[in-house]
């Protein structure tokens, strides 16, 4: 079967009558989801029904029509996590509050939305640091998509405090307002990333730092905050949502802080998507191997 999208023909690799799944985004060629999801499906003898699909924002309606007819489920990445909201019949409370959905189940042509990013972060924190969100204080560096997708889950799971630091304070305050409404028992404070005294306070009080900016994707990127701030709290656990070494990770290592990259968050969010779609327990270690062995698509 073939889908025509953005004037290019892309195959969806699946056998006849097999339930089909995709991850959509723009860009999407870098996604490791097919490797890990197909490893999980193959573990249960369900073939390899999961593929990448490039979908431009202006082609989103076209994709929606296709998905209603042809798919059993799909994942969404940038810029589609909020675009899908008007098309959902149901959505979980945390995903609705965050305005971010990354997992859709298709039942009789209707869409049911969830966000598994927060679950992925929760499980990664347990695996990497042995901690759970309840009663913990978190500081987010960056209030973009990654923070929106995960902060509500941490609050829902009983986080004591969430400190939001962003280059644009208004964006941090907007997110803070939504969090306070969603989880009034969670303390929420904001600051600018260049407000050093305020950041020092946040870093001293926090149990976990979540590096949620895109800074570090390129080798030339500067750190999102002065790295000497990591010296404020030698018990701080540093979680970087980027899954290769960044300046933040490098400095955390030099200071002998507990730190981790974003690999396990990605694997666990995918594992939760698989469980939502199939009702089967995700084979996490096999998904890890699939993630590591996946080759980014070079068609586009």
Structure confidence at residue 12 as a pLDDT band (50, 70, 90): very low
Domain map (residue ranges) of the chain = 2-115+264-293, 118-261
Lowest mean pLDDT of 57-66, 229-238, 240-249, name the range.
240-249
- Cβ-contact 121, 146 below 8 angstroms: no
Active site residues: 81
Round to the nearest angstrom and report the end-to-end CA distance of the chain: 18
> What pTM was computed for the model?
0.89
Ramachandran angles phi, psi of 204, nearest 5°: -70, -35
Residue 21 has pLDDT above 90, yes or no: yes
Residue 17 has pLDDT above 70, yes or no: no
**298, 241, 276, 299: which is closest to 40 by C-alpha?**
276
**What CATH number belongs to 118-261?**
3.40.50.720
Q: How far is CA 209 from the centre of its chain?
A: 16
What average pLDDT does the structure give for the chain?
Answer: 91
Percent of the chain with pLDDT over 90: 80
- Cβ-contact 14, 1 below 8 angstroms: yes
Q: Which residues is 112 bridged to in the sheet?
A: 90, 105
Residue-wise pLDDT for 134-178, tens only, equals 999 999 999 988 898 899 999 999 999 999 999 999 999 999 999
- Please identify, in words, the CATH class of the domain defined by 2-115+264-293: alpha beta
Domains 2-115+264-293 and 118-261 share a fold: yes
């Amino acid at each position: 079967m073939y889908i025509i999208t953005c004037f290019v023909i892309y195959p969806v690799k699946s056998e006849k009558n097999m339930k089909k799944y995709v991850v959509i985004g723009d860009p999407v060629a870098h996604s490791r989801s097919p490797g890990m999801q197909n490893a999980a499906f193959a573990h249960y003898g369900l073939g390899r029904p999961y593929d990448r699909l490039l979908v431009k924002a202006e082609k989103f309606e076209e994709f929606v029509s296709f998905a209603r007819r042809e798919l059993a489920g799909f994942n969404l990445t940038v810029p589609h996590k909020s675009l899908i909201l008007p098309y959902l019949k149901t959505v979980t409370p945390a995903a609705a509050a965050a305005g971010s959905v990354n997992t859709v189940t298709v039942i009789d042509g209707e869409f049911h939305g969830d966000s598994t990013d927060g679950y992925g972060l929760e499980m990664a924190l347990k695996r990497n640091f042995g901690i759970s969100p309840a009663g913990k204080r978190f500081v987010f560096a960056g209030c973009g998509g990654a923070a929106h997708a995960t902060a509500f889950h941490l609050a829902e799971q009983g986080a004591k405090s969430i400190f939001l630091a962003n280059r644009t304070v208004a964006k941090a305050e907007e997110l803070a307002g939504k969090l306070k409404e969603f989880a009034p028992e969670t303390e929420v404070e904001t600051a600018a990333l260049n407000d050093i005294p305020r950041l020092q306070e946040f870093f001293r009080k926090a149990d976990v730092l979540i590096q949620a900016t895109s800074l570090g994707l390129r080798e030339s990127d500067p750190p999102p905050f002065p790295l000497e701030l990591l010296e404020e709290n030698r018990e701080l656990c540093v979680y970087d949502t980027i899954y290769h070494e960044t300046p933040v990770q490098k400095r955390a290592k030099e200071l002998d802080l507990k730190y981790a990259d974003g690999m396990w968050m990605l694997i666990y969010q995918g594992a939760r998507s698989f469980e939502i779609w199939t009702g089967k327990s995700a084979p996490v270690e096999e998904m890890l191997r699939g993630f590591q062995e996946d080759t980014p698509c070079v068609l586009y």
